[in-house]
């Protein structure tokens, strides 16, 4: 057995501290940061969807970037105020539900990410059950995630 391995095993058995190579410590810190970024990104995606479902204008406003671009079945809406105006019209109808499932997400460092969401626009009073796919891009600025693109496409009647 190599001498370094024997020393490490003896130190471990005696409870003596052994210096950890810097690369291992850095990798561990990097992994913690990656995990933290992934958690905060996921929380932001849920916040967007949950704020919309709750019809909570204040929460929904906070998650939208000021220069957000919304696309609904090909209709483009640019800017937070315009996107919110559309949302407020939808929020006025109290009979719909919008359950969702996050299909996949991809994080690019800790400053941007994309997620694909499958959702159903349900309104029993109008006999609606629309299947929708949502493609969202979020950026992290000033320590918080915000939606910069939100593209919704109806995939079935």
Q: Hey, how many other C-beta atoms are within 10 angstroms of the C-beta on 113?
A: 23
Q: How far apart are CA 56 and CA 62, in angstroms?
A: 10
Q: For 153, phi and psi rounded to 5 degrees?
A: -130, 125
User: Which pLDDT score, from 0 to 100, does residue 118 have?
Assistant: 98
Please tell us whether the domain made up of 21-156 is placed in CATH 1.10.760.10. Answer: no
User: pLDDT-derived band of residue 26, with 50, 70 and 90 as boundaries?
Assistant: low
54: CB partners within 8 A, 6+ apart: none
Q: Where are the domains of the chain?
A: 21-156
Strand partners, 149: 69, 137
- Comparing 113 with 33, the larger pLDDT belongs to 113
- Comparing 10 with 154, the larger pLDDT belongs to 154
Q: Could you tell me which of 45, 44, 64, 57 has the C-alpha nearest to residue 135?
A: 45
The pLDDT tens digits of the residues spanning 68-124 come to 999 998 999 999 999 999 999 999 999 999 999 999 999 999 999 999 999 999 999
User: pLDDT-derived band of residue 156, with 50, 70 and 90 as boundaries?
Assistant: confident
């Amino acid at each position: 057995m190599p001498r370094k391995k024997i020393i490490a095993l003896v130190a471990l058995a005696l409870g003596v501290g052994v210096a950890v190579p810097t690369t291992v410590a850095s990798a561990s810190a990097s992994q913690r940061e990656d995990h933290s970024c992934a958690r905060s990104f996921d929380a932001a995606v849920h916040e967007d969807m949950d704020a919309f479902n709750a019809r909570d204008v204040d929460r929904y406003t906070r998650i939208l970037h000021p220069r957000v671009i919304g696309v609904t079945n090909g209709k483009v809406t640019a800017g937070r105020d315009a996107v919110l105006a559309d949302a407020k019209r939808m929020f006025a109808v109290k009979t719909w539900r919008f359950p969702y499932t996050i299909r996949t997400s991809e994080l690019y460092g800790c400053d941007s990410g994309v997620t694909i969401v499958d959702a159903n626009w349900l309104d029993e009073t109008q006999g609606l059950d629309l299947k929708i796919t949502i493609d969202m891009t979020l950026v992290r600025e000033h320590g918080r995630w915000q939606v910069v693109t939100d593209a919704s496409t109806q995939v079935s009647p």
